[in-house]
Amino acid sequence: MQTPTPPVLQLIWTRTEDGWYQATDAEGTAWSIDRHPTVPSRQNSSGTPDWREKWWLHPLADEGPETHEICPLVTTAPWTALHRHPEVLRYADVLVAGWRDQCWRIPNGTPLSERVMGRGEERAPLSALLGAPVLVHPQLLLDEILRATRHESRAYAAEQALRAAGLPVPGAEGR
């Protein structure tokens, strides 16, 4: 059984005089959440460009123009005071920890479903990274167990048919 994903470290975000937010992670890297429009190279090529200001996450040590090419989006909300929206600052904590939105969701018994985040080969539900995992509806768990049981039954039946026919069973070298 896989161990549960631990929540990411909660940073202390401080509002600066210019209205941005700054924090320092455990490794001593300083981060900034600031507002600016999407750079032209990241605009949607079809349709009308969106020049509204959005909140973006930047490492403070690297403020070159290429930073805007790769900085992750924190929120598109038009708010000017993120400290009044702690869920947004907590999402920034997840981004600082290296997790990125994988642009897909898994069902969890709620109307919105669960956003999946990724870091390298790792995958985790956003709610677990935030430290408030969403409980999954029991019917969804039952459906998954039944689906897995059906697959195991089919694999067992196929293995028995191969043995009965005197053919080798793939992956059964050590049995």
- DSSP for residue 17: T
pLDDT tens digits for 134-158? 887 777 777 888 888 999 999 999 9
DSSP string, 96-165: HTT-EEEEEEE--SSTT-EEEEEETTEEEEHHHHHT-PPPPPHHHHHHHHHHHHHHHHHHHHHHHHHHHT
Task: Categorize the per-residue pLDDT at 101 as very low, low, confident or very high, splitting at 50, 70 and 90.
Answer: very high
Q: Are 21 and 14 in contact (CB under 8 A)?
A: yes
pLDDT tens digits for 109-124? 777 788 999 999 999 9
Closest by CA to 21, choosing from 82, 71, 74, 79, is: 82
> 0.75 exceeded by the pTM?
yes
Q: Where are the domains of the chain?
A: 14-130, 137-170
Residues 6+ apart with CB under 8 A from 97: 8, 9, 25, 119, 129
Amino acid at 54: K
Residue 56 has pLDDT above 60, yes or no: yes
Closest by CA to 96, choosing from 1, 10, 158, 167, is: 10
Q: Are 46 and 53 in contact (CB under 8 A)?
A: no
pLDDT tens digits for 38-48? 887 888 777 78
Task: Categorize the per-residue pLDDT at 172 as very low, low, confident or very high, splitting at 50, 70 and 90.
Answer: low
Residue 1 has pLDDT above 60, yes or no: no
Mean pLDDT in residue range 49-68 = 81
Q: Are 97 and 129 in contact (CB under 8 A)?
A: yes
Mean pLDDT in residue range 53-66 = 80
